[in-house]
């Protein structure tokens, strides 16, 4: 690898590390507590927990069309 290519790669790496340094970070315990609180607050609207009412289920099997 040439010195010019190596210098360019190093500059990109330094730029990436500087941008990552500016990111605000949370402690894992705080993020987990926030996630738990969000899940508990929105549990009533979660169809995976409460189920889907048969009348509003978009995936229910279609009724057959009968022509007389």
In the chain, beta strands by DSSP E: none
Residue 68's pLDDT is 63
Residue 35's pLDDT is 95
- Round to whole Å and give the CA distance between 2 and 46: 56
Residue 1's pLDDT is 59
- Round to whole Å and give the CA distance between 36 and 25: 18
| Helix extents (H) in 1-68 | 3-21, 28-41, 47-50
0.75 cut: is pTM over it?
A: no
Instruction: Profile the chain (68 residues) by mean pLDDT over runs of 10 residues.
Output: 83 95 94 95 88 79 74
Residue 55, phi then psi, degrees to nearest 5: -75, -25
Residue 26's pLDDT is 93
3-state secondary structure of 3: helix
Chain length of the chain: 68
């Amino acid at each position: 690898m040439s010195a010019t290519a190596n210098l360019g790669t190093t500059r990109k790496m330094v730029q990436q590390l500087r941008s990552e340094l500016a990111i605000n970070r949370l402690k894992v315990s705080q993020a987990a507590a926030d996630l738990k609180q969000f899940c508990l607050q929105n549990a009533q609207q979660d169809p995976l927990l409460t189920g889907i009412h048969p009348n509003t289920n978009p995936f229910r099997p279609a009724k057959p069309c009968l022509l007389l």
